[in-house]
Structure 1
Amino acid sequence: MNTIRIAIFTAGAVGLAAAGYWWNQDRQGSSVTGEPLAQVVVPSSLTPIAERGRIAFEANCAQCHGTNSSGRDGIAPPLVHKIYEPNHHGDIAFTLAVRHGVRAHHWQFGDMPPIEGVGDETVAEITAYIRELQRANGIN
């Protein structure tokens, strides 16, 4: 009798796990689109440092964080967002994120890995670009 109960319980647990897996796969397949998560107003001109940052951002960050840091659905958050305003995430936070990666804490995108080959000077230029985008979008 106990063996039958264990078999039924095990089969039920496996069935629930399989259903959860397939439901999650279906849900991810329909919601992970990579579409922008934010509408970003781009300033008509950038300072020279921010323009260098824009070029570096496009080469190193846009694949995940989207064009003009608008984020990508299911992939990475927009950096033009109040969470990343300077009084919450100072400029050093961007440097540390690139150097060491970041554990997921504000968003459900998973951890960000370190970004190899991007030095501190380049991160400073990228940060200047992000800050100019933020200001153009009312994030100070």
Structure 2
Amino acid sequence: MKSKFLIVGAAVVAGLAGWLTFAQKPQEPVAVVASQNDALVQVSLPDSLSDQEQIGKRAFDAVCAACHGVNAAGRDGVGPPLVHKIYEPSHHGDMSFYLAAENGVRAHHWRFGNMPAQTGLSRADVATIIAYVRAVQRANGIN
């Protein structure tokens, strides 16, 4: 009797594993191009960027701009601007950016919905993104 339950249990596990492997197709990544036409705020750019900030800009453009817009100006109906007094360092310190990237964040200042965690970013990647965002914020009087 015991062996009959083990066989049935093994068959159920094998069936579930097969279903999970073959039935669920992976989502194809969707390229979203952010444009300045849907920006929520006007952004002035810094005269120059440090090496770290330039790396951060490339990472931001690749990962963050789809929602937060070109140069962190936000996207109408999609995501908030990071060049905004709400995100000044005294209110949202660098750690809040790390935590948002790692864990996602529940919407609390805007009505764009919750931000999902961002996979594939190391803490070093996030550090360069923060450096870039802070440089753009400073160029816009957000210190």
The structure that is helix-richer by fraction is: 1
CA distance in 2, matches of 1:133, 1:44: 10
In structure 1, how many angstroms separate the alpha carbons of the residues matched to 2:64 and 2:110? 17
Q: Is there any run of 5+ residues in structure 1 with no aligned partner, and where?
A: 1-33
Match of 1:44 in 2: 47
CA displacement at 1:43 relative to structure 2: 1.0
Tell me the residue number matched to 2:27: none
Of 84, 88, 95, the match for 1:85? 88
How far apart are residue 106 of structure 1 and its match? 0.2
Aligned to 2:132: 129
Structure 2 residue aligned with 1:57, among 51, 55, 60?
60
Structure-2-length-normalised TM-score? 0.74
Q: What stretches of structure 1 move > 3 A for 4+ residues in a row?
A: none
> Structure 2: which 5+ runs fail to align?
1-36
What is the aligned-residue RMSD (CA, Å)? 0.8
Rounded to whole Å, the distance in 1 between the matches of 2:120 and 2:98 is 12
Q: TM-score, normalised by structure 1?
A: 0.75
Q: Which residue of 1 aligns with 2:103?
A: 100
